[in-house]
Amino acid sequence: MAKIDLDKLDLDELKTLQKDVARAIDQYEAKKRKEALDAVEALAREKGFSLSELTGAAPAKKGKAPLPPKYRHPENPALTWSGRGRQPAWIKEGLEAGKSLDDYLIGK
């Protein structure tokens, strides 16, 4: 490796060098980590397992699927609610007007 004479660099060059070295170290570590993970996953597959099965870790989720709607607005079928989370305003208004949640059920 070429030796760098740090005494000849000004402050901006030293800071740039510091950032470049930190970035290079991060990239090197990420590359080695990926290589190790790939090798372990390949060995697990070779033995008939997935890595998550062996480590007890849950496989990565891609996000929750939205819940199917349970309630529908009687006049505007585009307005629905799954029954979870905060009640929509149209449900609250209907309940205050004396209706029940059963009045909004889909497929009753």
Alpha-carbon distance values, 61 to 44, 49, 65, 66, 101 (Å): 20, 19, 10, 14, 33
Question: How open is the CA angle 31-32-38, to the nearest 5 degrees?
Answer: 90
What is the pLDDT, as a whole number, of residue 7?
93
Asked if 51 and 13 sit in the same domain, the reply is: yes
Contact at 8 Å (CB) between 102 and 74?
Answer: no
Question: What total of structural domains would you count in the chain?
Answer: 2
What is the pLDDT, as a whole number, of residue 74?
87
Asked if 49 and 82 sit in the same domain, the reply is: no
Determine, yes or no, domain membership for 49: yes
What is the pLDDT, as a whole number, of residue 37?
92
Q: How far apart are CA 28 and CA 32, in angstroms?
A: 6
Q: How far apart are CA 5 and CA 14, in angstroms?
A: 11
What stretches in the chain show pLDDT beneath 50? none
Domain that holds residue 51: 9-55
